[in-house]
Every structure is written in C-alpha cells, then in structure tokens.
Structure 1
Amino acid sequence: MTITTSEPAVPHYTPAPVTKEDLEYADLEVIDLSKANTPEGVARLAEQARDAMRDKGFFYVINHGLSPEETTRIFDIADVVFTQTTEEEKERYKSKLLETGSYQGFKQRQYWHIDGGVLDQVETYNIHRDVGRKGHPEALRPVLPEVARFAQHNHFNVLYVILRLLAVGMELPEDTFVKQHEYDADSETYVRFMKYYPRSEEDEIKTNNVWLKGHTGG
C-alpha cells in the first residue's frame, strides 16, 4: 500500500489521548514479521506465535510493512465511514448477519445483548476484500481503491506470514492454513473498521466491564 499525492482528501482523525489511569495491561507477545525471512527466524517466531495463541489467544505484530503515514491514513479513512455517513445510509448498508451470516456492511450500535439488559456500544463496518462486491456509502467510494490495497497487503504480507508460522509451530505443512484462506476464494474475509462509544458507569457495573461476549474468528 502506497499513499500518493493524488489520493482523495479526507478529514484527519485525531485519536483519543492515552489514558492516565493506572491499568493492568495484558502482557502480550510481540511477533516481529521482519524476522520471518530466514529459516532460523521462522522457527523462532513459529514457536513464539504458537505459544502465544495457546496460552493467551492474542499477540501483537510489528514490522508488518505499513508505514506510520499509511497507518494514519487508514485510520482517517475508517473515521470517514462513521462520521461522514448519514444514518439513512447506515440503515441502507447495514449487514444482515443474523439472516445471512454475512458481516458485510454496518453493524450498528446496540445490536448485541451483553448482560443485565445492556446492549453493545460498538459500531463496525465490514468491507469484503473484493471492494466492488457490494455497494458502499457515498463518502467511502473515492477511497475504495486504497481500502482494496490495504486488504491485499494484509492478506499476503501479514495474514499469510502468520498462517505459515502457526502451521510450522504446530508441525504441519507450512501452507496448510494458507490453502484454506486463498485470496480469490469465496469467503467472508474483510477489512473491519470499528468505533467504540462510551458507556455509563451503571452499564459497566451491570456487565462487569465486559464489552463483548466471548467469540471466535475464522
């Protein structure tokens, strides 16, 4: 993914400042993808990734091939989806995940029940890697080529590397999982933009600070 001076202008998204609260953060493994270019590096990372998924279920990825400028740009584009789209369009392009199983489109706030009568406060927009498969809100259309490049970069340069590491770590043929996630396969692989909205203290108590119930991804 490369940004050029001819890309459509979009408003800059300013993220919230880092919290000053004294929080107990999870100690997650950091997978450095730049070390996956030698057999020795792959062996070490495969063991690290396997253990991280077995013990904690998550890990960070660094040196994924996207520059800070490209990362900032994709956050700007993501914000367009939520702030430059009318409620009418959000309704028009909402996903029908319960009816069809497809997440493509908007998942609006207060869709899932969390606990104690509290509904979720997470808004998402999912774009299939084939960005032309379905229609999109007007504000997003000029930047769809960038979203497509972002999806392609992550599929080949991040996802495939991780899938190979996990296969090696599990002592399987290296391309075992890659073959199950072919880029051109008819699947629900997509770019997901997410926005979390604040909740009241009362809702935090009712849900014991849980924002989404346990779930899996495939």
Structure 2
Amino acid sequence: MNPNSVTMVDGYVPVIDLSARDSPSGRATLAEAIGRACRTSGFFVIVGHGVPPELIDRLHTATTAFFTLPDAEKDRIAHRPGFSGFRRSGGTTAQSLGQRTPPDLCESFGAHVTGELSDRERGELGDYQATWKLANLWPENPADFKDTWREYMTAVHALAADLLRLCSLALGLDEDHFDDKFDRHVSSLVANYYQPQVDEPLPGQLRRGAHTDFGGLTVLYQQDDRGGLQVLQGEDTWRDVRAVPGGFVINIGDLMSLWTGGRWVSTMHRVVNPERTDTSSRLSVPFFFQPNHDAAIKPLPPVAPAPGGRRPQAVIAGEWMALKTRKLFAPAR
C-alpha cells in the first residue's frame, strides 16, 4: 500500500484504497488505517473494493426505476414491519435513540439475506418478532430488480466479510476471530429514496434523523452527485461526508463498538435536507452486515468506561437489533 492510499474527506473521514489487500503487508497496513478511523470518527470511505462498477450502476438504475413507479404498484409489496418490503415512510430513525421527531422524509425498500431461506429455516431465527424472519417480497417491475439486488447482495456481503477480517487484524486478533459470529448472519440491504422536497419540512424533520447504526458494520452506496450525509464530530459539530466516485462509505455500528469495549466508536450521523431551491431526489443503499441472531456480543478487553462510568454489558445480537428496530418504526406519539 503506497503512502497516498489513505487520504481524508474534510479532514475527518479517511478514504482508504483497498487495492493492496491481497498481500499480507498490504492487509497489515490497511488494518492499521481502519483501526485508526474506527477509534476516531467511526467512518471511512473505501475505493479499490472490487465490486464491479457496472453492477453498482445496474443497482442504481433498477432501484430508482422502482421508486418512481406509481404508488399503487409499490404498495403491492408494502405494509410490512421493519426493514422488509416497501414503506412509504422509512420510519423515524431518531426514535431508535429515544428522541421524538417527525417521520423521516424518505421512502424505503428492504430485503434480508435470510429472506431467501425456507419457512422452516427462517422460523429458527429467534423466538421473537424480527424482520429478518420474513420471506422477501420482490417487485415485478422493473423486471431485473430481483436478480440485480440478489447479485449485489452477494458481492457486497463478500466485501463486508473481508472488511470484518481486516477489523479483526486492527484489533490485534486472528483474521477469523468473528467468522463464527457471522456464519448465519441476518444482514439486510435497504434502499432509501429521498423524494424531491417541494413542501417545507416540519420543524426538526430531516431526510434521516440523527442516529447510530445498530449492528456490525455498514457498507453504504450513495449517489456521487448528491450530498446530505453528515457525521457528528465531538458534541455539536456536524461534518459533511461527500460521495467519492466509485467509493463506499463504511461505518461501524453499536454492536461492533460494544464488542471492542468502547474503544471503537459508533458515531451519530444523519441526512440533512437540501437547499430549498434543490428539488432533486437522492438515493442511498446501505448494506447492514449483522451478526447471527443468537451471537453473544461480549466486550473485548481492555474495556473503556461508557458515559457516566458504566461498563458496557454483553447482549444477544438479535434481541438488541429487534428492540432497536421496533423503536425506529413505532408510531410517533
């Protein structure tokens, strides 16, 4: 890995070139850069990741075509809980942290890796309500939507799995340390479609409210020519994360932060509204790489004290994520 393979976005979020990850020395250098990012901003951008550009383009085209269908056609696969199928409202993300805001200004469509399993296999994924226990519902139009999404999910899962191995190295662990916690993962791919804003948002209403991600790590595609994603630096400084052509934004979630004993940070982020003169739409597609539903997440030593001096407590991954999802999609009060 050459000295120019790590740059910075706005001085806070590094851009890391993964093209050297096939060599042991390259992987060691990449792990060091990833670990540094996860200790500071919790975010980094990757290029040289190997996901074919033409596949990303097909994903963008098919997904945008779906969201611009008439509402009646999209509603055929709607009215399901959580990150599954189509939703006219992507939920109220800030509610996952107990904050009350108006609903987020976006539509969403989601599918789970486990949604392709049999009824019996999905029935074994926890004895509680969870969105990953539902069979995927796929739109009939556009005709290539299902095949494109399944192909993309396979490619981005392989990328996420290798990023997790680099994370293991960054923590001073064997590369395969987390493998048995993700060998039956309940990951999801979710598309967020931010409609053109022709009406004034309500007070406190954003395209996506401030939140942290719930799980392991997130691999986010966002349009090259549309801004809006911001991450929180410190207590009150929001920093733009501009899209890097051909890149993915990566961030760790609450469970990975807990796993590291708080040494790595799950950082608050949001999607802000465009300028009032900007009536364009925006598409983002995060892949949420989530552990097995029954994985026990126990802090690795040394453990950093949580705010207020509390020590991080072990959780069961599925129970944690299901609770957060219920909060996110709970009716506003």
How does the TM-score come out when normalised to structure 1? 0.71
Aligned position for 1:135: 137
- Counterpart of 1:59 (choices 44, 62, 72) is 44
1:95 aligns with 2:80: yes
1:159 aligns with 2:160: yes
In structure 2, do the counterparts of structure 1 residues 82 and 93 end up closer, same or farther at CA, with 3 Å as the change threshold?
same
Pairing 1:44-123 to 2, within 5 Å after superposition: 44-84=29-69, 86-87=71-72, 89-90=74-75, 92-97=77-82, 103-109=83-89, 111-112=91-92, 118-123=102-107
* 5+ long unaligned stretches in structure 1: 1-23, 98-102
CA distance in 2, matches of 1:50, 1:215: 19
**Aligned residues, how many?**
185
What is the CA-CA distance between 1:212 and the residue it aligns to? 1.4
1:34 aligns with 2:16: no
Amino acid across the alignment from 2:140: E
Q: Higher mean Cα deviation, 60-69 or 46-55? A: 60-69
What is the CA-CA distance between 1:119 and the residue it aligns to? 2.2
CA distance in 1, matches of 2:172, 2:38: 15
What is the CA-CA distance between 1:60 and the residue it aligns to? 0.7
Answer yes or no: is the 8 Å Cα contact 1:131–1:144 preserved in 2: no
SS in 2 for 1:149: helix
Question: 1:73-130: CA deviations, max 9, x gaps?
Answer: 1100111221125336436433312xxxxx2222332731757753210222111235
* 5+ long unaligned stretches in structure 2: 1-8, 117-134, 216-333
Question: 1:3-26: CA deviations, max 9, x gaps?
Answer: xxxxxxxxxxxxxxxxxxxxx956
Answer yes or no: is the 8 Å Cα contact 2:19–2:49 preserved in 1: yes
Amino acid across the alignment from 1:64: H
Amino acid across the alignment from 1:54: R
- Counterpart of 1:190 (choices 188, 191, 202) is 188
CA distance in 2, matches of 1:135, 1:51: 39
CA distance in 1, matches of 2:210, 2:114: 29
In structure 2, do the counterparts of structure 1 residues 110 and 165 end up closer, same or farther at CA, with 3 Å as the change threshold?
closer
Aligned position for 1:214: 211
SS in 1 for 2:211: coil
CA distance in 2, matches of 1:94, 1:26: 42
What is the CA-CA distance between 1:208 and the residue it aligns to? 8.5
Answer yes or no: is the 8 Å Cα contact 2:63–2:191 preserved in 1: yes
In structure 2, do the counterparts of structure 1 residues 140 and 209 end up closer, same or farther at CA, with 3 Å as the change threshold?
closer
Amino acid across the alignment from 1:122: C
What is the CA-CA distance between 1:45 and the residue it aligns to? 0.7
**Percent identical:** 23
CA distance in 2, matches of 1:195, 1:210: 9
What is the CA-CA distance between 1:43 and the residue it aligns to? 0.9
Q: Higher mean Cα deviation, 61-70 or 105-114? A: 105-114
How does the TM-score come out when normalised to structure 2? 0.49
CA root-mean-square deviation: 2.9
CA distance in 1, matches of 2:33, 2:187: 25
SS in 1 for 2:208: coil
CA distance in 2, matches of 1:66, 1:110: 27
What is the CA-CA distance between 1:198 and the residue it aligns to? 4.5
Pairing 1:9-28 to 2, within 5 Å after superposition: 25=10, 27-28=12-13
Q: Higher mean Cα deviation, 165-174 or 131-140? A: 131-140
CA distance in 1, matches of 2:11, 2:207: 15
CA distance in 1, matches of 2:141, 2:150: 16
Answer yes or no: is the 8 Å Cα contact 1:93–1:137 preserved in 2: no
CA distance in 1, matches of 2:111, 2:198: 30
Amino acid across the alignment from 1:123: E
What is the CA-CA distance between 1:146 and the residue it aligns to? 2.2
In structure 2, do the counterparts of structure 1 residues 209 and 108 end up closer, same or farther at CA, with 3 Å as the change threshold?
closer
CA distance in 2, matches of 1:79, 1:202: 23
Higher helix fraction (1 or 2): 1
SS in 1 for 2:177: coil
SS in 1 for 2:147: helix
